[in-house]
Amino acid sequence: MNRTVYLNGSWLPEADAKISIFDRGFLFADAIYEVTAVVGGKLVDYAGHAARLQRSLKELAITCPLSPEALLDVHREIVARNEVTEGLIYLQVSRGAADRDFAYPAHATPTLVLLTQTKAVLDNPRAKTGISVATIPDLRWGRRDIKTVQLLFPSMAKMEAMRQGADDAWLVEDGFITEGSSATAHIVTKDGVLVTRGLSNAILHGITRASIIDIARSAGIAVEERAFTPDEALAAAEAFITSATSFVMPVVRIDGKTIGTGVPGPISKQLRELYVESRLAAAI
Ligand code: PDD
């Protein structure tokens, strides 16, 4: 790969982009991130990602190094410089470099990094077959609403799910599914109701989740925002995950047991189609 990446105002070949070993993103995971899909060279659901970025920064009292307009320009420029037609933009802001101390430094300059990854987000073959998940105890910290780079437990959970022969993990806390390792978890009941956990500190406030709730309601699909158990998921007609990079991805097996008919269900398919159609039309 010879991508051009963005680092603190400079455009650099990826091999030349270096940050300090004192960066608090490295020492404390004191950093937040966003992932935005790119399709046809355009940014999908960008307004939601830009708004959540500001929220995460505010929760950690990190100052955004760029204005909203400049941030959008950098997103557009990185797509153009790397000729990305389909894939994603990864953005990370850390508090910056300072002597190691648990207290936030009084004056650190945030580190801003953007990079691209080419990926088949639209024509993902898994959307046709669906994926399998394994339930794993959710041992993450209590502020999952902040999109921090503390991703070691989700990474461990995904590895454990894969060791069990599944594609990914659905995390469980106090008997209820919280979310996937890197996606929001949803089910469709036998009565055709879309059930998705309500917003709290227990989950990341998914941008794709918000879009899917709007799209489902506009399509006449009833939506209940409440927690559901693994047993309820096993008894559901359909299950799926949403995220910036998977859009709507059907889940056809949970802990080795088939959901519904074992193939992607009609509502999951409809929501994926409606998401792609509406969000690509609105991409910027
Ligand atoms: N992950 N929940 C978690 C824990 C996530 O990490 C993500 C996204 C989501 C879905 O959020 P959104 O719809 O805004 O992408 C839910 C990204 C894609 C990642 O870490 O790569």
76 and 137, same domain (yes or no): no
- Specify the pLDDT at position 165: 98
Boundary residue ending a domain (60, 88, 118): 118
Claim to verify: residue 225 and residue 246 sit in the same structural domain: yes
| Final residue of a structural domain among 94, 118, 142 | 118
Backbone region of residue 96 per phi and psi (left: phi > 0; alpha: psi in -120 to 50; beta: other values): left
Name the burial class of residue 281, with classes exposed (0-12), middle (13-18) and buried (19+) by CB atoms within 10 angstroms of its CB.
exposed
Q: For ligand 1, what atom is nearest to the CA of residue 33?
A: 20
- What's the pLDDT score for residue 34? 98
Which ligand 1 atom sits nearest the alpha carbon of residue 245? 18
Query: Which residue range is the domain that position 254 belongs to?
Result: 126-282
- Phi and psi for 33 in degrees, rounded to 5? -145, 170
Q: Percent of the chain at pLDDT above 70?
A: 100
pLDDT of residue 41: 97
Per-residue confidence (pLDDT) for residue 216, from 0 to 100: 98
pLDDT at residue 1, as a whole number: 72
Gap from CA of 61 to ligand 1 centroid (Å) = 22
pLDDT of 10 reads 98
- Residues in the chain predicted with pLDDT less than 70, given as ranges, are none
What does DSSP assign to residue 41?
Answer: T
Atom of ligand 1 nearest to the CA of 211: 13
Mutate to test the pocket of ligand 1, among 49, 138, 151, 204 (most ligand atoms within 8 A of CB): 204
Does residue 147 have an active-site annotation?
A: yes
| Ligand 1 neighbours (beta carbon < 6 A) | 35, 179, 182-184, 204, 206-209, 242-245
Q: Which residues, 6+ apart, have CB-to-CB distance to 95 below 8 Å?
A: 24, 25, 30, 31, 60, 62, 104, 105, 108, 110, 111
In contact, 44 and 38? CB cutoff 8 Å: yes
* Same-domain status, 103 and 60: yes
Same domain, 148 and 264: yes
Which residues have C-beta within 8 Å of that of residue 106, sequence separation ≥ 6?
A: none
Which helix (H) or strand (E) segment is 93 a member of? strand 86-94
CATH (domain of 207): 3.20.10.10
Tell me, yes or no, whether 109 and 174 share the same domain. no
Domain count across the chain: 2
The verdict on 186 and 110 lying in the same domain is no
Compute the distance between CA of residue 176 and CA of residue 243 in angstroms, rounded to an integer. Answer: 20
Encoding tokens for residue 40? 């046809």
Asked whether residue 110 falls in the same domain as residue 17, the answer is yes
**Spacing, Cα 106 to ligand 1 middle (Å):** 31
Positions of E strands within 212-282? 223-225, 238-243, 247-254, 257-258
Clarify whether residues 111 and 241 are in a common domain. Answer: no
Q: What is the CATH number of the domain that holds 73?
A: 3.30.470.10
How far apart are the two ends of the chain, measured CA to CA in Å? 26
**Inter-CA distances, 169 with 153, 163, 201, 277, Å:** 11, 11, 19, 28
Domain boundary among 88, 118, 148: 118
Same domain, 109 and 139: no
- Give the active site residue among 128, 147, 158, 269: 147
Mark whether 138 and 266 lie in a shared domain: yes
Residues 131 and 98 in one domain: no
Whole-angstrom distance, CA of residue 11 vs CA of residue 17: 9
Same domain, 52 and 154: no
